[in-house]
Amino acid sequence: MTGEARNPSDDAGPLDGVTVLDASRVLVGPFCTMQLGDLGADVIKVERPETGDQTRHWHPPRYGDAEESAYYMSVNRNKRSITLNLQSEAGREVFRDLASEADVLVENFRVGAMEDWDLGYEDLREDNPGLVYCGLSGYGEWGPDADRPAYDIIMQAEGGMMSITGEDGGAPVRVGVAIADIGAGMYATQAILAALLERELGDGTGQKLDVSLLDGQVAWMSYMASNYFATGESPGRMGSKHPTIAPYQAFETADGYVVVACASEHIWPRLCEALDRPDLAADPRFESNADRVENREELDAVLDAAFAEMTTDEALDLLADHDVPASDVKDMAAVFDNPQVEARGMHRSVDHPTAGEVEMAGSPMHFSRTPTSVRQHPPRLGEHTDDVLREYGYTDEDIERLREESGV
pLDDT tens-digit series, residues 187-224: 999 999 999 999 999 999 999 999 999 999 999 999 99
The domain in which residue 304 lies consists of 248-328
Residue 35 lies in a domain: yes
**With 60 as the cut, is the pLDDT of residue 140 above it?**
yes
**pTM for this structure?**
0.93
pLDDT at 396 over 70: yes
Q: Output the pLDDT for position 81.
A: 98
State yes or no: pLDDT of 354 exceeds 70. yes
pLDDT tens column, 36-92? 999 999 999 999 999 999 999 999 999 988 899 999 999 999 999 999 999 999 999
* Domain co-membership, 381 together with 256: no
User: Do 79 and 141 share a domain, yes or no?
Assistant: yes
Residue 8 has pLDDT above 70, yes or no: no
Residue 212 pairs in a beta bridge with 137
- Averaged pLDDT score across all residues of the chain: 95
pLDDT at 3: 46
Q: Indicate if the pLDDT at residue 4 is higher than 60.
A: no
Check residue 9 and give its pLDDT. Answer: 64
pLDDT at 1: 46
Same domain, 37 and 171: yes
Same domain, yes or no: 280 and 368: no
Is 322 contained in some domain? yes
Nearest by Cα to 35 from 383, 356, 341, 361: 361
If we measure between CA atoms, which residue out of 129, 146, 127 comes closest to residue 210? 146
Q: What is the pLDDT of residue 64?
A: 87
Residue 407 has pLDDT above 80, yes or no: no
Describe the crossing of helices 396-406 and 89-99 by its angle, rounded to 10 degrees: 130
At residue 236, the 3 state secondary structure works out as coil
Q: Is the per-residue pLDDT at 406 higher than 90?
A: no
Please list, in sequence order, all residues whose beta carbon lies within 8 angstroms of the beta carbon of residue 320, skipping any fewer than 6 positions away. Answer: 326
Check if 181 is active-site: yes
Q: How far apart are CA 261 and CA 72, in angstroms?
A: 35
Q: Are residues 197 and 79 in the same domain?
A: yes
* Residue 53 in domain: yes
Question: What is the predicted pLDDT for the residue at 5?
Answer: 57
Q: Which of 7-16, 39-48, 114-123 is the least confident region? A: 7-16
Same domain, yes or no, for 87 and 158? yes
Quick one: 321 and 351 in the same domain?
no
Identified catalytic residue from 42, 181, 331, 337: 181
- pLDDT for 10 beyond 70: no
Residue 155: phi, psi to the nearest 5?
A: -65, -40
Q: Are residues 197 and 310 in the same domain?
A: no
Q: What is the pLDDT of residues 302-325, one digit of tens each?
A: 999 999 999 999 999 999 999 999
Question: Is the model more confident about 253 or about 12?
Answer: 253
Domain boundary residue among 282, 303, 328? 328
In a shared domain, residues 205 and 347: yes
Reduced to 3 states (helix: H, G, I; strand: E, B; else coil), residue 326 is strand
Span 379-383, average pLDDT: 96
The rounded distance, in Å, linking the Cα atoms of 111 and 113 is: 6
Report CA torsion sign: 129, 21, 181, 120: negative
**Residue 381 and residue 277 share a domain:** no
Q: Say how many domains are in the chain.
A: 2
Give pLDDT, residue 383.
Answer: 95
- At 6 the pLDDT is 62
Instruction: Give the pLDDT of residue 211.
Output: 98
d(CA 115, CA 135): 11
Residue type, 350: V
- Per cent of the chain over pLDDT 90 is 94
Question: What CATH number does the domain containing 255 carry?
Answer: 3.30.1540.10
